[in-house]
Amino acid sequence: MNFSMLKYPTALVPLGLSLASLALVAGYVALYGTARQPDEGAAAHIWQLLILAHGPAILVFLAKWAPRDFKAAMTVLAVQVVALGAALAPVWIIGL
């Protein structure tokens, strides 16, 4: 597999967003636990914005790299989608 495209910022931004989302959930759970809160706090809103930012970030990556090297772009896209799934999974599993 060719992951050489991962050295470009347009490929790394979605991965960074996923990592930040996952770190935010992990930090929140470590500090406050998994008990439901009566109102969404700042952490929930920041997480939602990070997840929402994935769409434009992935579209920019695809617009730039899919026409140049389709196969490598699809490989990196698969990595980005898995990372997004990893960022979404804890919230879905825990039910935050």
Give the sign of the dihedral formed by CA 89, CA 78, CA 50, CA 30: positive
Rounded to two decimals, the pTM is: 0.88
Residue spans of the domains in the chain: they are 8-94
pLDDT at 36 over 80: no
Query: Using 50, 70 and 90 to split pLDDT, how confident is the model at 1?
Result: low
Taking only Cα atoms into account, the Rg of the chain, rounded to an integer number of angstroms, comes to 15
pLDDT at 35 over 70: yes
Residue-averaged pLDDT of the chain: 90
> Model confidence over 53-96: pLDDT tens digits?
999 999 999 999 999 989 999 999 999 999 999 999 988 888 76
Which residues have a Cβ under 8 Å from the Cβ of 91 and sit 6 or more positions away? 25, 47
DSSP H helices in 1-96: 9-32, 42-65, 70-94
Give the span between the Cα atoms of 61 and 23, in whole angstroms: 23
Give the pLDDT confidence score for residue 2 in this predicted structure: 65
